[in-house]
Amino acid sequence: MTDINKDSVESSDELSADERAAIFAASNTRVDRAAAFRTGRVPIPPKALAWTAAVILFLGIGGIVGQHYFPSFSGKTAPTSIAKTTLSTTTTSPSSPNTITSLEVFMGLKFIGTASAKNFSLKTQSGKPWNLASQKGKVVVLAFYSSTCNDICPVVGAEIKQASEQLGKYSSRVEFVVVNTNPRQTRVSSDSAALKVPGITDSPAITFLSGSLSQLNSVWTTYGISIKVGAKANQISHNNALYFIGPEGNLAAFSKPFATESSSGKFSLDAASIRRYAEGIAAAADSLFQ
C-alpha cells in the first residue's frame, strides 16, 4: 500500500471551485478504450488526489478489499466464509452509463498492488484439475457465482462472455475463471446452470471451477468471498468480486460487479451496461500486458 506523506496534504480538505470543475470535466471526457487503463489516465489536481487518498484510507480501502484482501495476504487468520443467516443480497448499479464515460470509473476498477495471488487448486466443469500457479504468463480474470445460477450469474456470465470476444492481440493469453459459490451444490458439469444460463458452455476461454466444500471455503476466505446460508435451499447469498491476476501471478486489480435484484431474487442488468462492463473487463485484461 502506498504511504501517504502527511506534509504533502494541504491543511484545507475543501477543493476549490476550479478543481471541482476540472474533476467534473475530466470524468465526462470521452476516453478511448486503449488509453483508459494507462498510468495517468485522467488529470486530477494534486489536492484532489490527496483528498481522495485520505478518504480511502479513512474508509479502510473500501469494503471488501480492506476487510478481506489485506488480511488474507498479510498472513493473518481470516474469519470463516460461511455463516447461517437470512438472504439479504442487495446490488445496484453505481451510476448510469450515459453519464460516466471512463470505463475504469464505471466498473469501479481499483489497481491494488503487486502482492502474489495465493495459489489454489480446483476442478473444471469437465472434471480436470486446474490450479492458479500453472497459469503463469496469462492474465486470469477471476469471478465468483453459484453453480445453480441463482445469483448474479446471468449478468457476470454475460459480461465475461462478451469480454472474451472483445480482447485484442493478447486474447490467447487471457483466462476467464469462475469459482462456484454454492456450498450446497458443489458438483458441476458442462450441463450446470452456471454455464448454460449465460450461454458460456462452449466458450473455450471460460472455465467454471468447483471442488469439495473445504477446498471452496479456502478459496472464498482467501479472496474475500463471504457466503451466507439461510435455512432454505435457495437462501444463499454472497458479496460480488472480480479480480485481475497479472502474467507474473500478481493480484493486480479488483472490481465489484453490480446488478439489480428483483423482489423475487432474480438478478439483471440492462444490455448497454453489460456491454460497457464487458468492454471494461477486456480493456483491463489487455492493459496488464503493457
DSSP, res 65: I
Mean pLDDT of 9-14: 41
Q: How many CB atoms lie within 10 A of CB 237?
A: 24
3-state helix, strand, coil in the chain (%, to 5): 35, 20, 50
How many domains does the chain fold into?
Answer: 2
Q: Does some domain include residue 70?
A: no
Same domain? For 123 and 239 the reply is yes
Are 34 and 84 in a shared domain? no
Q: Do 31 and 124 reside in the same domain of the chain?
A: no
**Grid coordinates given for 237:** 447469498
Q: Is residue 73 part of a domain?
A: no
**30, 59, 88 - which closes a domain:** 59
AA letter at 8: S
Q: Does a structural domain hold residue 115?
A: yes
User: What would the pLDDT profile of 198-242 be if each residue is shown by its tens digit?
Assistant: 999 999 999 999 999 999 999 999 999 998 887 665 667 788 999
- With respect to residue 162, please indicate whether it lies within any of the assigned structural domains: yes
For residue 248, which of 199, 289, 189 has the smallest C-alpha distance? 289
Q: Tally the residues of the chain.
A: 290
Question: Does 149 share its domain with 240?
Answer: yes
Same domain, residue pair 225 and 196: yes
pTM beyond 0.85: no
Mean pLDDT, residues 266-274 taken together: 95
Would you say residue 65 lies in a domain? no
Are 227 and 219 contacting, i.e. CB atoms less than 8 angstroms apart? no
Residues 205/111, Cβ–Cβ less than 8 Å: no
Within a domain: residue 66? no
Share of residues in the chain with pLDDT > 90 (%): 56
110 and 191 in a single domain? The answer is yes
Secondary structure class of 260 (helix, strand, coil): strand
Sheet holding 82-84, edge to edge: 82-84, 227-229, 236-238
